[in-house]
Amino acid sequence: MAQVKEETNPYRIALQQLAGVAEILKLDDGIHEILQKPKRELTVHFPVNLEAGGTHVYTGYRVQHNSGRGPTKGGLRFHPDTDIDEVRALAMLMTWKCAVVNIPFGGAKGGVEVDPATLTRGELEDLTRRYTTEISLVIGPTSDIPAPDLGTNSQIMAWIMDTYSMHVGHTVPAVVTGKPVSIGGSEGRMDATGLGVLISAEAASVTRSTHVEGKKVVVQGFGNVGNAVARLFYKAGAQVVAVSDVRGGVYNGKGLNIPGLTEHARKTGSVVGFPESEPVTNAQLLELDCDILIPAAMQGQITAENANKIKAKIIIEAANGPTTPVADSILKDKGVLLVPDILANAGGVVVSYFEWVQDLQSFFWTETEVNDRMAQIMNRSYQEVLTTARKHDVDLRTAAYIVGVSRVAEATITRGIYP
Ligand code: NAD
């Protein structure tokens, strides 16, 4: 096979994907240019005192891509490799995602260049509080609302909420979502992204005249999202045959005991070494024989290198940006049904929206109410994207972009350009 030069910069990939859809939609050049550029970008450098002595200066970002449809919303990532282009790309994906599921938010993303595993709990809290202070210029319950992502969790959201509240002098739960339930978090938020992935997988299975139950499933990543995905698919009667984390993966062709594995990972800090399993590398894991493959870790995992070797018939993108554009076209030619990130993992932002609504109203819903409303939105969105795919004879990613970008473009045109 001829060598294909792959684009790996996530922002340039996001721009390529937008350009393809701008052409299909015959988007006005001016509108296309507005959508290409983030509305606002903030880079901050801030010191944290280390417990072993000395100070380290960290770099963080908050990018707001587009607020045409409402306040901006998007996760906060703590990862050593994060950079401004990654955050720009993820902010743009959030704009399309909120529009695909038709919730009244624009897109944003934040990141700090740090490996949280290298910090003590006290240092992590100090870093979070100082970063929150630095970006408090641009965040707020009616302007921009962060949430958990790679390397962050509900405790970190609690520190953000507390820091912001201390500055304004009163408690502001709606400044952040993905908080613990005890301080205004929503029932169902912890597993929301995973549940949305399961709903998407069932919808995609029905498109292929089958169901998730009894299917062989492989999950890459065992964090906020990957763990919930593995547990929920196991509960739904799927055979989760392999999972992994950053240290490696585990495989059992008859299906892993996910409750046991969750306990093992909680005790040891990794899935590696789980009894009744064979070790696999992250690279091998993606190419295992299975029905449904769920990348739930990092971007750029399915590439020109491995796309041809993937055996899954359905891929559900729980991670953001796990598939490169070249891999996308290889998978399409192989007849793989791929549900794209901006649809498949939107359950998280949908329940974040519910959390924000509940916080603003100080009126809280039951887990059943939350899950039922999220399922309605996810199923309706899947059907809208599927109908669009059939109408334009395109794959589900292109169709999701058509739905998302056209809604954002319409809002931009309707509002007009100020002044
Ligand atoms: P997390 O930090 O909780 O978990 C990440 C998992 O991936 C961990 O198990 C980690 O060990 C593993 N991992 C890290 N690097 C890896 C590598 N190179 N190879 C294999 N595994 C690796 O993060 P998360 O919140 O679960 O997010 C995972 C993905 O889902 C990200 O792409 C994120 O943007 C996306 N996402 C998260 C949410 C959410 O609600 N948290 C919502 C939508 C999308």
pLDDT tens for the chain, residues 1 to 419: 445 578 889 999 999 999 999 999 999 999 999 999 999 999 999 999 999 999 999 999 999 999 999 999 999 999 999 999 999 999 999 999 999 999 999 999 999 999 999 999 999 999 999 999 999 999 999 999 999 999 999 999 999 999 999 999 999 999 999 999 999 999 999 999 999 999 999 999 999 999 999 999 999 999 999 999 999 999 999 999 999 999 999 999 999 999 999 999 999 999 999 999 999 999 999 999 999 999 999 999 999 999 999 999 999 999 999 999 999 999 999 999 999 999 999 999 999 999 999 999 999 999 999 999 999 999 999 999 999 999 999 999 999 999 999 999 999 999 999 99
Who's near 310: CB < 8 A, 6+ residues apart? 286, 287, 293, 302, 331, 334, 336
Which ligand 1 atom lies nearest to the CA of residue 148?
41
What spacing in Å lies between the alpha carbon of 38 and ligand 1's midpoint?
Answer: 24
Q: In what order do the strands lie in the sheet with 292-295?
A: 278-280, 248-251, 239-245, 216-220, 292-295, 314-316, 337-339
Which ligand 1 atom lies nearest to the CA of residue 271?
9
345 lines ligand 1 (CB under 6 A): yes
Check: pTM over 0.95? Answer yes or no: yes
Amino acid at 13: I
Computed from CA positions of residues 139, 144, 146, 149, in that sequence, does the dihedral angle turn out positive or negative? negative
Q: Whose CA is nearest to atom 4 of ligand 1?
A: 223
Q: In what order do the strands lie in the sheet with 144-148?
A: 40-49, 55-66, 106-112, 72-78, 144-148
Residue 331 dihedral angles phi and psi, to the nearest 5°:
-65, -40
Residue 180 dihedral angles phi and psi, to the nearest 5°:
-60, 150
Computed from CA positions of residues 81, 87, 92, 95, in that sequence, does the dihedral angle turn out positive or negative? positive
- Residue 156: the pLDDT is 98
Residue from 264, 239, 242, 260 nearest 251 by CA: 242
Q: Whose CA is nearest to atom 18 of ligand 1?
A: 246
Pairing of strands 216-220, 248-251: unpaired
190 lines ligand 1 (CB under 6 A): no
Q: Whose CA is nearest to atom 23 of ligand 1?
A: 150
220 lines ligand 1 (CB under 6 A): yes
249 lines ligand 1 (CB under 6 A): no
- Residue 5: the pLDDT is 73
Q: Whose CA is nearest to atom 35 of ligand 1?
A: 319
- Residue 4: the pLDDT is 52
Who's near 370: CB < 8 A, 6+ residues apart? 186, 187, 188, 189, 192, 351, 354
188 lines ligand 1 (CB under 6 A): no
What spacing in Å lies between the alpha carbon of 190 and ligand 1's midpoint?
Answer: 14
- Residue 354: the pLDDT is 98
245 lines ligand 1 (CB under 6 A): yes
Mutate to test the pocket of ligand 1, among 77, 115, 150, 355 (most ligand atoms within 8 A of CB): 150
What is the total residue count of the chain? 419
What spacing in Å lies between the alpha carbon of 297 and ligand 1's midpoint?
Answer: 4
